[in-house]
Structure 1
């Protein structure tokens, strides 16, 4: 039998997972501001935010990881910018890699939708 603290925790988890919203829409035709791209780069390279360099080679980032694929030719790999956004956010099952270690950044609340949008704007320039 579960104790009451465990029941409360499971109830809280069930409720919080039910209220998670879907990711925002990203328009591929939108030309992001240079400041958003620069902010996206800072977020992507930040160890406390995107931390893309922990797993990926990206742009001129120092000491990249090699667990994930290099972030190159992103427009060619993701002609639909929304799919790239969804992959980072954590909802695009069509791009989900089995046994991937990539966190679902938006779905889990690691970073905000706006931060993900800026990171995607930066990654899309690579």
Structure 2
């Protein structure tokens, strides 16, 4: 393979995160998850690099080992009461706390955490 093809490929990889998701999208998902007026995930969960996390819910890491796919994680965030009516997790999608695109960004971010 020629050097002229390898260099652009390396540049592209340096601008993407886990599974080819652009770093900007992961950063946007992180911002939504950490925003006290939006996702506010840190109120209940430990997330790497998060400040003052809560301990009501499980630590948010290794999502691929806890959910069969990103769709299942998305459904949990959209409305966790569908799976556990007694959960303390707010139904972010059902209650219009986050729109569909915001939830997708949070899912991409959380899925990328180890």
TM beyond 0.5:
yes
1:43 matches 2:32: yes
CA distance in 2 between counterparts of 1:85 and 1:58 reads: 17
2:38, 2:97 within 8 Å by CA — same for their partners in 1? Answer: yes
Q: Which runs of 5+ in 1 are unaligned?
A: 1-29
CA distance in 2 between counterparts of 1:31 and 1:82 reads: 17
TM-score (norm 1): 0.70
What residue in structure 1 maps to residue 16 of structure 2? none
TM-score (norm 2): 0.77
CA distance in 2 between counterparts of 1:79 and 1:33 reads: 22
Q: For 1:29-108, list aligned pairs within 5 A.
A: 31-90=20-79, 93=82, 96-108=83-95
1:58, 1:70 within 8 Å by CA — same for their partners in 2? Answer: yes
Q: Which runs of 5+ in 2 are unaligned?
A: 1-18
More helix by share: 2
